[in-house]
Chain A
Amino acid sequence: MFWELGHLATHNLMRARARLAMTSGGVLVGTAAVVLLVAMTVGLQTAAEQGIGQSGALTEVMVGPSYEYNPNSDVEPPQLTPAMVERLWRIPGVSVVVPLVNFQSWGELLADDYSGGGQIMGVDARLLPYMGIEVAEGTLTLERGQVLVGSQIPINFYDPQATEYRPIQVDVLNTPLEMRTFSPRGEERRLDLSPVGILAPNPNYDYAIIMPVQQVISLNEWLNGERADPRDFKYDFALIRAESREQTTAISDAIKEMGFSAGGLGDFINQLNGFFTTMRLVLGGVGGVALLVAAFGVANTMTMAILERTREIGLMKAVGATDRDVLTVFLIEAALVGLVGGALGVLISYLAGEGINQGIANLAQQAAQSGQGSGPMFLPVDISQLQAGLVIIPTELALFGLGLATSVGIIAGLLPALRAARMTTVVALKTE
């Protein structure tokens, strides 16, 4: 029955092809506007996510003392005690907790005649694989006396005798390396270090010297001149790895609830996604205006069609069509106008998107050849990050475009179709 009515509707549509083409043309423009603008936000979001870094960083949440601590408050700020670390492990969605201890002073590095330095941090060697770090050279292992150094450390040595500062690169893996530090009491301490790996660039650890945690604890004991009491031992910060990026926000919230500061790239990305969602809604809304205009076109066409075919509507009813049958015929017509426009709109979007991406790729190439930086300024991201293209149309978006256009047709056709369905048979038959 539905197909029979659909066939009738198709027949009706084909009798006014020019009008169908123009009305669908309006829907085409609207659909293409929505799809292309939304596809652009998808492209920008993809580029932004790629720009942010490796996926490992996205599941991290860094936990530290709260910045909102009020010294006048009676409430003691929470500390990252081993017991507290236990509690962090139990937060839903947490995969691993890597507690870290900072050396409470600066470590100066001495290699040959050159001097360098970094922030010393201690970690349980067994947890190294979960820190989201990779070695550019050497191995990702740690034993007493061994260190891993951040990517900036080997290239930021200098000659203390020189009058002018000039960074010098030292092959730390093959040069005897010594660390020197001073206590508040004025004592000097020297320590032989054997670097086993240089970390790949990672903003969190570029200036880090990573040691086994026990060694950092004993360095701190020496610095403070007293033995650490295991009962009030506390870590300085902790790195939490979430099971998935989506869980980072909830984990951050839970940790903030406990009185710590918490944040990470995943959290940031989630906020970024919120921004892109807003952008998508705004741009989709802009395209939606075009579609709204098209909806008026569909409504107008359907109203005209119904006026022209009033006698036919009367006849259909006279030979047994129910109000619902008439409604269905005209709604199918309106839906088809939307569907045709939507399908063409999606097709045009793919073609236009392909063209835009090609154009951007050419611009990027030109920019690269001329040695200039990031290319045109009108884009909020570095053009070189748009490898996947500025316009990305996922299948869901294409289907959404089709569905939206069809819905617009149906909604725009609803009032005219209802009017047709409610026509009094006799009046419709007698209309000239």
Chain B
Amino acid sequence: MTQGIEVRNVHKLFRIGDAQLHVLKSVSLTIGAGEFVGIMGPSGSGKSTLLYLIGGLDRPTDGQIAVGGARLDTMSSDDLAYFRSQTVGFVFQSFHLVPTLTALENVALPGIFAKVPHDARMAHATALLHKLKMSDRAEHRPSQLSGGQQQRVAIARALFNDPPIIMCDEPTGALDTQTGRLVMRMLRALCTRAGKTVVVVTHDPGIENYADRMILLRDGRVIDDYATRQRPALDALEESVPNP
């Protein structure tokens, strides 16, 4: 079974006090392995919620979600943790680095829960930082890094367990245009060179330049789903892009 993502009739309701918020309304879609998919939509359209559901960070209220054939909606909490450890890597808008750990330790963090021995963990994290041209920042703490550097550390962390799927929630939201572009190129390279499935939720229409396919959400429903006109060329990528 490939690491395709299948979403069938998924609903998500949030209870806020007495009110119920119906965030996702019968969403169905399929994402093939190795695809680079951009998910766009206005605020409150449910795009982040959808990302978290297919990333195993939350459970649907109703409907089925399968990744690589494994049903996330019926998985135990521990199996879901293992799924997150082995199958997906997350990149967040606000980086979510642990402030007291060095860049290297942040990259190696998933290794602790994947039970990778200390030395192997550190060696692997060092190699990842090297590939992302961050070796000279390995011992810096997040507060000593620029936004772009922090996001590169976060990407390295997402890659630590070599997951087949990378999920990004507004990965360029906190970055300037220039740095944002670099991050997008890196994600594109992960898809093209390493064959990773990449799912990016964003407000940035520029995503169309990198994604193979766009899914548009509004009010909790898929309103459009189309292939981008032109698949981005790899030669536009910079040297700083990792080659896992």
Contact = CB atoms under 8 A, between A and B. Distances in A.
Contacts of A324: 78
A426 B110 CA distance: 17
A321 B81 contact: yes
A5 B58 contact: no
B96 A429 contact: yes
Contacts of B112: 1, 4-5, 8, 321
B58 A316 contact: no
Contacts of A424: 58
A324 to B, nearest CB: 8
A319 B98 CA distance: 12
Given A322-B113, A325-B113, A426-B52, A317 B101 contact: no
A323 B112 CA distance: 14
A4 B58 CA distance: 26
A320 B92 CA distance: 15
A56 B62 CA distance: 81
B157 interface: yes
Given A320-B81, A322-B77, A425 B113 contact: no
A318 B84 contact: yes
Contact of B57 (A1, A312, A321, A426): A426
Contacts of B82: 320, 322
B57 A425 contact: yes
B57 A320 contact: no
B217 to A, nearest CB: 17
Chain B interface residue bracket vs A: 20 to 34
Contacts of B78: 322-324
B240 interface: no
Given A322-B81, A426-B57, A316 B113 contact: yes
Interface in B95-151: 96, 98, 100-101, 109-110, 112-115, 118
Interface string B24-60: 0000000000000000000000000000100101100
Given A15-B100, A315-B96, A315-B98, A320 B113 contact: yes
Contacts of A5: 112
Interface in B146-186: 157, 160-161
Interface of A: 1, 4-5, 8, 11-12, 14-15, 311-312, 314-325, 424-426, 429
14 contacts: A1-B115, A4-B112, A11-B101, A15-B100, A315-B98, A317-B84, A318-B96, A319-B109, A319-B110, A320-B85, A320-B110, A321-B81, A324-B78, A429-B57
Given A315-B96, A318-B90, A426-B57, A323 B81 contact: yes
A11 B101 CA distance: 8
Nearest to A14: B100
A323 B85 CA distance: 13
A324 B78 CA distance: 9
A418 to B, nearest CB: 14
A319 B85 contact: yes
A220 to B, nearest CB: 87
Given A8-B112, A311-B96, A319-B160, 7 more contacts: A12-B100, A15-B100, A317-B57, A320-B110, A320-B161, A323-B77, A426-B58
Contacts of B209: none
B86 interface: yes
A11 B100 contact: yes
Contact of A429 (B92, B113, B161): B92
A329 to B, nearest CB: 10
A167 B220 CA distance: 112
A156 B101 CA distance: 86
A8 B112 CA distance: 9
Contacts of B85: 319-320
Contacts of A426: 52, 57-58
Contacts of A1: 112, 115
Q: Which 9 residue pairs of A and B lie closest in terms of their CB atoms, listed nearest first? A: A320-B85, A319-B110, A320-B113, A322-B81, A425-B57, A426-B58, A321-B113, A315-B96, A4-B112
Contacts of A8: 112
A87 B165 CA distance: 86
B96 A317 contact: no
A1 B58 CA distance: 26
A1 B118 CA distance: 10
A264 B112 CA distance: 64
A311 B99 CA distance: 11
**A8, A318, A324: most-surrounded residue (chain B CB, <10 A):** A318
Contacts of A4: 112, 118
A64 to B, nearest CB: 71
A318 B86 CA distance: 11
Contacts of B114: 320
Contacts of A316: 109, 113
A394 B115 CA distance: 41
A374 B109 CA distance: 66
Nearest to A422: B77
